[in-house]
Structure 1
Amino acid sequence: MARKAGFPPVADANTRVLILGSLPGEASLAVQQYYGNPRNAFWRLMEGVLGASLVPLAYEARLAALRAHGVGLWDVIAEAERPGSLDAAIRDPAANDLVKLIEGLPALRVVAFNGGTAAKLGGRLIDERIPTIALPSSSPAHAARSFEQKAQAWSALKTPLS
């Protein structure tokens, strides 16, 4: 089975909140975009957090809007074997160097994990170097919570961004 690799980080010296997913799914890899599956609620959730319209924007403009609001993106896993898009199918993961990235973000206030797999793996890697928030996954596969319930949980990001 071929290994799947994620994307480079989207972060800069002004990043106050770093959101870490697990590993991009098939739809995201196909379009080479973070949260590229149109059914993934990430961009709609971030609209509520930022109070800014993101969904209608082109991808590069979405990333620019996140950076302008102090939000960075990356994934806990650099590469892994995984048939399909489910986190449960991830095998033999290789981690991204989260510590190195975090140490290079002087304004960082919190790391937010998008989903349980990211929180479980990422929490071990960053080892209480900075406060963390575990968020319900924005993935369409995570249907245990409604969009409204997810949005309420994700609103916790508003405080470190203010």
Structure 2
Amino acid sequence: METKSTTRVLTLMDSVGLSQVKFAEKCGIRPSNFNRALKSEKGISSQYLLRIAHAFNVNFEWLRNGIGDMFAEEKAIGKAQFAAFNQMLDANSSPVSQNVISGDNYQGTQTINATEGKIAALEQKIEAQTQLLAEKDKLIARQEQEIEFLRGLVNKQQQK
């Protein structure tokens, strides 16, 4: 059974043109775990959705709830400027790419500069949430081990 968030993840995968394996690797998710998440009746976990949103700079609310646009930046600065900005980042801020952004797309540059602080803050929040979710997973695993240990003790007592 495919959930709505799973459908949006598949739409994003199609949009970026990556295989399931490459998509998962870019998000820092094991491909086998990602495959299981895609097939899960519960849908993809919030932790995975956060990783996906961060890896592809996607609007998390769109990914999780279908609210807003897939790429918030496209709405703010336009597709051409968004593409030029990504080219600049990919080219490690080469002077040619900087001229594309700062020359013909001055207004787009202003928008990018105005949102840089917000993006950095969101990235920090995502990282903090990812760490908290990882700690939660460790605690759950530890509790499951303790439960299994206690079950073993109970079984030994019942056998006596």
Common fold: TM-score over 0.5:
no
Select the structure that is richer in strand. 1
Select the structure that is richer in helix. 2
**Larger-gyration structure (1/2):** 2
Structure with larger RCO (C-alpha < 8 A, sep 6+): 1
Q: Give TM-score, length-normalised by structure 1.
A: 0.29
Q: Give TM-score, length-normalised by structure 2.
A: 0.29
